[in-house]
């Protein structure tokens, strides 16, 4: 289910920033350092796949991971961008109702699961990170609209990257930004009094000029990763808002007549066109993408890395082949051209092999197993030609190997009790 995107495994503490951000359906949200994508997928889910999310990351190697996480989760209200965070403060001032600054940090809070994180905790590294964090958060405040909410978060424990960054920001924007109490942002979800008190004690120890509410999660008291969050609200403009520029996104909304033609073809094949309210088809070469209308209205003045969810690909004979991403995310909506797999067939297709099917099925079909859509295939003469993504097949094979090794490890422990209890 995780590989298919139907569930996302996330550490409990890392879910806190989005809960504090509290994004609402229809809003325009900026995730300034989005990769690998756990928080962005959480934002998309809380927004019910409506509105617009700009998911940004500056590192090219992490963009593919971010894009993959969003596509597997079925997010249609996202556009992936590769920009330095400061670009948004300069070019999109005052455009976003919510801004998440889950910034790069020394990651001390992850040490209990990965002790190697501590090797980045030199004073030089901490100072370098703190300077970067101040620049990112400053840009995030500029990018936020008046009345907007900004959440700053790290998975580290140092005061230099946490309380001292927020104190610096509140001093810099003393008349324009204030800190909200995390306990009042999500009172029904989490008893945050201990976390807020933990940050208050740190502030007392370093003689902050003015105390402010924030949340600090210590691993030994919360039984989570170490984490820090601060919630800010913007009251007045911090920069002059530029005139809205002509959008320059690579993917463009398709013409109404073309969208009708695509929708009609897909409905005839599957009994639905898989579109929901507020959604729009976009064109990028031969590829058709599914996004929200709000993405086009966001007014990004530059080209994007990826937009929305792959929907279909046009063929030379004017047909449209659904993407695996769409079939996995919304295949449950189909009432026709669906192939229900038995366990043995599921094993075949996840192994990258073809398998048998009902001879009555012909052409493109959506595969389902135990009510869960898993992708697409081509049915011909009682055979299913496997069209699952190579990535899914490869990952399934790796998971099978890990599972087999785990079983062998259990057997070895039972045979050799001196290796541990059995």
Active site residue 105: no
Residue the block writes with tokens 């996995």: 328
Q: Is the dihedral of CA 123, 126, 131, 134 positive or negative?
A: negative
* Secondary structure class of 372 (helix, strand, coil): strand
Concatenate the DSSP letters of all residues of 2-68 into one string: TTTTSS----GGGGHHHHHH---TT-EEEETT-TT-HHHHHHHHHTTT-SEEEEE-S-HHHHHHHHH
* Secondary structure class of 238 (helix, strand, coil): coil
Concatenate the DSSP letters of all residues of 349-370 into one string: HHTT--EE--TT--EEEEEEET
How far apart CA 258 and CA 263 sit, in angstroms, is: 8
Name the residue among 288, 290, 385 with its Cα closest to residue 330. 290
How far apart CA 188 and CA 66 sit, in angstroms, is: 31
Which candidate in 28, 93, 155, 339 is catalytic?
A: 155
H or E stretch at 114: none
Token code pair at residue 390: 């190579």
Active site residues: 155
């Amino acid at each position: 289910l995780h590989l298919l995107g139907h569930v996302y495994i996330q550490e409990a503490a890392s879910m806190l920033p989005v809960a504090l951000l509290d994004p609402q359906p229809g809003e325009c949200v900026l995730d300034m350092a989005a990769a690998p994508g756990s928080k962005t997928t959480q934002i998309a889910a809380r927004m019910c796949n409506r509105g617009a999310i700009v998911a940004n990351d500056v590192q090219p190697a992490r963009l593919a991971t971010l894009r993959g996480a969003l596509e597997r989760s079925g997010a249609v209200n996202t556009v992936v961008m590769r920009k330095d965070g400061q670009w948004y403060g300069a070019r999109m001032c005052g455009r976003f109702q919510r801004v998440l600054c889950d910034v790069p940090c020394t990651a001390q809070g992850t040490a209990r699961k990965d002790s190697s994180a501590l090797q980045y905790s030199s004073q030089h590294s901490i100072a370098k990170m703190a300077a970067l964090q101040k620049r990112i958060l400053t840009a995030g405040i500029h990018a936020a609209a008046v009345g907007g909410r900004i959440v700053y978060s790290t998975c580290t424990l140092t005061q230099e990257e946490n309380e001292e960054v927020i104190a610096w920001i509140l001093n810099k924007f003393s008349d324009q930004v204030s800190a909200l109490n995390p306990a009042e942002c999500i009172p029904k979800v989490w008893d945050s009094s201990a976390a807020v008190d933990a940050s208050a004690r740190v502030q007392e120890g370093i003689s902050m000029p003015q105390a402010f509410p924030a949340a600090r999660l210590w691993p030994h008291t919360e039984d989570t990763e170490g984490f820090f969050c601060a919630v800010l609200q913007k009251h007045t403009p911090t920069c002059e808002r530029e005139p809205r520029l002509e959008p320059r996104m690579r993917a463009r909304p398709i013409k109404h007549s073309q969208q009708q033609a695509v929708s009609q073809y897909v409905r005839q094949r599957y009994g639905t066109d898989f579109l929901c309210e507020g959604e729009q088809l976009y064109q990028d070469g031969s590829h058709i993408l599914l996004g929200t209308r709000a993405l086009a209205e966001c007014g990004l003045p530059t080209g994007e890395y990826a937009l929305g969810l792959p929907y279909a690909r046009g063929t030379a004979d004017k047909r449209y082949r659904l993407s695996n991403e769409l079939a996995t995310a919304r295949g449950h909506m189909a009432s026709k051209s669906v192939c229900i797999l038995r366990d043995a067939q599921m094993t075949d297709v996840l192994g990258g092999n073809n398998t048998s099917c009902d001879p009555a099925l012909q052409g493109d079909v959506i595969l389902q197993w135990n009510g869960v859509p898993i992708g697409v295939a081509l049915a011909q003469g009682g055979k299913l030609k496997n069209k699952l993504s190579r990535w899914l097949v490869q990952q399934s094979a790796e998971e099978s190997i890990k599972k087999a090794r785990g079983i062998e490890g259990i057997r070895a422990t039972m045979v050799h009790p001196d290796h541990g209890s059995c």
